[in-house]
A and B are shown apart, each in its own frame.
Chain A
Amino acid sequence: MNSNKTYNKILFRSIKKNLLHMIIIFLLCFISIAIVSSIGVLAPKLWLGIEALEANTPGLYLAYPRNLASGIDTISFIFPLFFTSVTILVASVSLTRLIDIERSENGCLVSLGKSKFSIVGKYILIVAISSILGVIFGLIIGFFAITPLLFSIISEEFRLPDISAPFPYFGLIVSIIVVVFLLTLTVLLVYRSLLGKPATLLRSKPPIKGGKIMLENLGIVWRILPFRYKSTLRNILRYRLRFFLTVFSVLFSSALVFCAVALSFVLALSNPDLTTFIRPISAVLAIAAVMLNVLVIYNLTNINIEERSREIATLKVLGYRNIEVTGYCFREIFILSVFGILIGLPMGYGFMVLIFDRLTFGGIEFLNWYNWIITATIALASLGLTLALLYKKLHKVDLTSSLKAID
């Protein structure tokens, strides 16, 4: 009985420590499932209304609504796919960080005789709470708030009857896939982290073997680079998995923003009549894409800072000023984000070409430079917002405790 009480205390404190990461996983799941379930149900609901109205009114052919519905059909696969991919990518990074935070405590528990299974149980509980709550809220908001809202705006003009939408099977399936994926990854990561003797866990993770990176062979260039850049570039190229995850996350979420913005502008320009109907949909998509973008960049930067707290404290002790330390932390994410944006924007363009090909209205020729500028601005604003939110945390680092013991 007593051991359960202590273990519950450990569990509770664990949740408190990991709260920020749990909230982020929750928000990631929430945003993407809200989009998946709302957009996924919108077209079927429209079709039902269209068919019902046409059936009741002989000779009526609702051209516009049909166009609209098939247009939504087209995007209702790609957008949810993007949202879900970004969610899974970024949530995976969060999971690796989550499991790393209490590495030494876990090693301690294992050495005290706690089974590995019970530690896995702790993380499954944490991840399950965040992700399941996230998808449930997403399904509810998507199905009960977003879809009715969008439907009412669209159907008003055509007076489509409001036939209750079919159950969001698509949203539910995607939710299950996301949750199962995250829980499986959790189990794998925990077991991998507990591999080997408890003694190794109690020590801090050994840093990746130092070594030169390819870039250093460019003698002249390398010599001129200030250390801050040398350090940043080595960091970026050494932790390859993190590099790819970061770039891909930023890539996809910027492509998403590009597409959502393109949808609003192009359709508004090409078909002013349809603006009333397209606007709300693309607004929802754009808002969700921007929220996701901010979340992605915030999360990746936050994790970066948490993992580097010792280096940050060292820089401060050496007398580096706040702005110099800030630069050290943000340089990496900035370079990776710019890289991701540079690839993501053209990719978004590519997707819009495909989408507009299949839509019966709008056309890629209406896409102008506004789009690129706006998307780039949004992406950079996300970086700026992240900086503002994390600045305080960065400079609240307690010097004395960060440098004391080995983790």
Chain B
Amino acid sequence: MIKIKNITKIYNVGNQEISALNDISFEANAGEFVVVVGPSGSGKTTLLNLLGGMDVPTSGDIFVDDKNIAKYNARQLTEYRRYDASFVFQFYNLMPNLTALENVELAVEICKVPLDPKEVLEEVGLKDRLNSFPTQLSGGEQQRVSIARSIAKNSTLILCDEPTGALDYETGKKILKLLYNASKQHNKTVILVTHNSALKDMADKVVFMKNGQAESIITNKTPKPIEKVNW
């Protein structure tokens, strides 16, 4: 259960104050696939960074399973990132000198109750690519390793920042399907940030962001399967 309450984030750049998030609130349950949509500069990535424990809000609270990470110090945030959150980036961020399997094992080595790396990699369809290095994998395959890494960590939260941004249409759709299945099969909260508003149809919950605020939050009783979503 994720509860974001009145989050404000202000950056001090030189003498300027840049307001990235302005009193935003929403909730998400376990097993929910949440899509956060908004144009560039709406604060979506900032929100994700706060949820991922990479930064702290200027004011407000973030409850992840009743723990308020908004008040955490650096060490506590590291522990949070270690056990409770995982990230899928637009540009994969795999370790270039480790194989696909080793990349997942690296992430899982420090977790308390991880899933089996080999099984998760099979789940994302990379059974035959376990011993390939990132440079030997296509963009879609690399992203799948990244997703496997996140799933295997078995964290409460999986955060995705434009995961299909660097991929073609068909591959992107496959990736989104994987992420959706992960939330359902493993009962994880997946929060996906994108500027592609067509993706709202596949989500259980949609947060429309503009200028650092949640313009509207919609719950989708009947999300469309990704195969039927086109853009």
A residues engaging B (CB < 8 A)? 206-211, 226-227, 230-231, 234-235, 238, 310-311, 313-314, 316-322, 324, 399-400, 403, 405-406
A318 and B98 contact, CB distance less than 8 A = no
A-B contact pairs, 29 of them (CB 8 A): A206-B135, A207-B97, A207-B134, A208-B135, A209-B135, A210-B97, A210-B134, A211-B133, A227-B105, A234-B98, A238-B97, A310-B93, A311-B96, A314-B93, A317-B54, A317-B87, A317-B93, A318-B81, A318-B107, A318-B110, A319-B82, A320-B110, A399-B49, A400-B49, A400-B54, A403-B89, A403-B91, A403-B93, A406-B91
- Closest B residue to A211 using CB positions: B133
Q: In the complex, are the beta carbons of B78 and A316 less than 8 A apart?
A: yes
A389 to chain B: closest CB distance in Å?
Answer: 20
CB distance from A43 to the nearest CB of B (A): 50
C-alpha spacing A15/B89, complex, angstroms: 32
Sort A-B residue pairs by CB-CB distance and give the 6 closest, nearest first: A210-B133, A319-B82, A319-B81, A207-B96, A399-B54, A234-B97
B interface residues (Cβ-Cβ under 8 A, vs A): 45, 49, 52, 54-55, 75, 78-83, 86-87, 89, 91, 93-99, 102, 105-107, 109-110, 132-136, 149, 153
Complex Cα spacing A234 to B96, Å: 10
Docked CA distance A320–B79 (Å): 8
The residues of A that contact B87 with a CB separation of less than 8 Å are 317
Contact A318 B82 (CB under 8 A): yes
Complex interface: chain B residues within 8 A of A405 (CB):
91
A226 to B97, CA, bound (A): 14
With contacts A210-B134, A310-B93 taken as known, whether A318 is within 8 angstroms of B55 at the C-beta atoms is no
Please determine whether A235 and B97 come into contact, CB atoms closer than 8 angstroms: yes
Residues in chain A near residue B97, CB distance under 8 A = 207, 210, 231, 234-235, 238
Interchain CA distance A399-B91 in the complex, whole Å = 14
B110–A319 contact, CB under 8 A?
yes
- Which residues of the other chain, B, contact A399 by a CB distance below 8 angstroms? 49, 54-55
**Contact call B102/A230, Cβ cutoff below 8 A:** yes
Q: Known contacts being A310-B93, A406-B91, is A319 close to B98, with CB within 8 Å?
A: no
For A313, the chain B residues whose CB sits under 8 A away are 93
A317 touches B83 (CB 8 A): no
What residues on B are CB-neighbors of A316 within 8 Å? 78, 81
A interface majority secondary structure: helix
- The distance from the CB of A317 to the nearest CB of chain B, in whole angstroms, is 6
User: How far, in angstroms, from A405 to B54 measured CA to CA in the complex?
Assistant: 16
Contact partner, A319, options B55, B83, B102, B136, Cβ 8 Å: B83
A319's nearest neighbour on chain B, judged by CB, is B82
A263 CB to nearest chain B CB (Å): 42
Inter-chain CA distance A10–B135, complex, in Å, is 34
Q: Which residue of B lies closest to A320 (CB)?
A: B110
B116: shortest Cβ distance to chain A, in Å? 16
- A202 CA / B80 CA spacing, docked (Å): 35
A314, A318, A324, A406 interface centre (most CB from chain B within 10 Å): A318
Compute how far the CA of A208 lies from the CA of B91 in the bound complex, rounded to whole angstroms.
Answer: 18
Chain B residues near A400: list those with CB within 8 A.
45, 49, 54-55
Closest chain A CB from B185 CB (angstroms): 22
CB neighbours of B98 from chain A (8 A): 227, 230-231, 234
CB proximity of B29 to chain A, nearest CB, Å: 23
Q: Chain A nearest CB: distance from B114 CB in Å?
A: 12
Given contact pairs A209-B135, A210-B136, A317 touches B81 in the complex (Cβ within 8 A):
yes
Residues from chain A with Cβ under 8 Å of B89 in the complex: 403
Give the chain A neighbours of B110 by CB distance below 8 A: 318-320, 324
